[in-house]
Amino acid sequence: MLDIYTIGEDVLREECKDITEFGDEIRMLSDAMLDTLDEADGVGLAGPQVGVSEKIFVVHIRGEKPLVFINPMITETSIETGVYEEGCLSIPGVYHDVVRPLAVTVQAQDVTGRHFTIKADGLLARVIQHENDHLHGKLYIDHLDEREKEKLLRVYERKNKARRKQKVRV
């Protein structure tokens, strides 16, 4: 299992590098990321969240096949937008509505380097956009206005302090 980096870590704010080698290393990383994602009970996990500043994210929507996106590029977004409550494994314990396009087209490579294109809507479109943001140092809270963002971060800090205290007490 890989460690999940949380907000405050520099790696979450960096622009990721392209992946150019498609060998055992990238296959092992994507397997480890999928295991970590399932263990954390999330639906998406991006490289920076496990301390890897490279363009890779994995998606696993329950009941569907796990997906690996390498060097992804969102090439089309729908004009129509929608609201959905998002969370992030790197900002645990808080959630907030985020407005995003409802459908996207994404081009990416799989672990063997093969190029593919997916047209997605619904939850998959939502997760692809959230994870793709991570590869550019962006978090979902950056989509909120400043007041909402500050409020959410205060709640996060409070919850985390409580969690740390709890740990010490045990």
Active-site positions read: 131
Tell me the closest approach of the beta carbon of residue 57 to Ni ion, in angstroms: 9
Please give the helix or strand (H or E) that residue 104 lies within, else none: strand 103-109
| Residue among 70 and 94 whose Cβ is closer to Ni ion | 94
The answer to whether the beta carbons of residues 136 and 16 sit under 8 Å apart is yes
| Residue among 34 and 113 whose Cβ is closer to Ni ion | 34
| Residue among 74 and 113 whose Cβ is closer to Ni ion | 74
Closest by CA to 90, choosing from 129, 47, 136, 148, is: 47
Residue 28 tokens, joined: 């092992």
Tell me the closest approach of the beta carbon of residue 165 to Ni ion, in angstroms: 25
Residue sitting closest to Ni ion (CB): 88
| Residue among 25 and 142 whose Cβ is closer to Ni ion | 142
User: Is residue 88 within the footprint of Ni ion (CB under 5 A)?
Assistant: yes
At position 80, the amino acid (one-letter code) is E
**Residue located via tokens 């490289």:** 47
Distance set, CA 35 to CA 30, 58, 60, 71 (Å): 9, 10, 10, 20
Q: Give the range of 18-26, 61-69, 87-95, 102-110 binding Ni ion by CB under 5 A.
A: 87-95
Could you tell me how many residues of this chain bind Ni ion (CB under 5 A)? 1
The answer to whether the beta carbons of residues 129 and 101 sit under 8 Å apart is yes
Tell me the closest approach of the beta carbon of residue 90 to Ni ion, in angstroms: 5
The Cα 3–Cα 12 span in angstroms is 13
Tell me the closest approach of the beta carbon of residue 71 to Ni ion, in angstroms: 19
Q: Where along the sequence are the contacts to Ni ion (CB under 5 A)?
A: 88
